[in-house]
Amino acid sequence: MTQYVYHLIRNIQGDTLYPLNKLKDIYPDIYEQHKRKYVGRKRVMSFKIPYLNVLWNDTLMFTPINPEIVKDEILRAGLNTNILDDYIKVPIEDLNPANTVWFEHSEGVVNKQKNKSEEIYPFDFKQYRELTELPEHTKRYLQTVKANNQKKFFIYLGIPHILTTDSINISKYLVNK
């Protein structure tokens, strides 16, 4: 059975999804829009990823869970978002193993008890399986967001990520709802 990774599609030009740092030269206006996600978190942009030896924003970040499952859980928590409506669904065979790593993003990293670099590993294509539900610590985070009446929140906080330095032509992977 084919296994997939997922990436949200927002504010894109052309048919290719590029890592943020590549966008700076190709589509500077789109770069500026996406860079806003890191306001107050600039240290993330300078984080060097083990095994790939590139900066965080030299990669595309995929998740191992269908965005529809994430959206259902967000709604179940009493929150709302529409940014999960357009995404790409990429078969893992289409990623280059030499350019791809797994980031566990455990509760320890979320709570800053562990360093990100401790949870980044070479991506094991043979062992990979999509997630079918959110990690418990992510569900608790969403409940806290609702309880605190926060308007902005990280939709993928605590969910593992697949990071790749590849650029991806999205035309054959786009899922529109």
The predicted-structure confidence for 14-59, as pLDDT tens digits, reads as follows 888 899 889 889 988 888 887 777 776 667 777 899 999 999 999 9
Q: Is 61 exposed, middle or buried (0-12, 13-18, 19+ CB in 10 A)?
A: middle
Beta carbons within 8 Å of 28's beta carbon, 6+ residues apart: none
Structural domain harbouring 95 = 4-175
Mean pLDDT of the chain: 87
Task: Note the pTM of the prediction, 2 decimals.
Answer: 0.88
Per-residue confidence at 176, pLDDT binned at 50, 70, 90? low
CA 40 – CA 62 distance, rounded (Å): 22
Quote the number of domains for the chain. 1
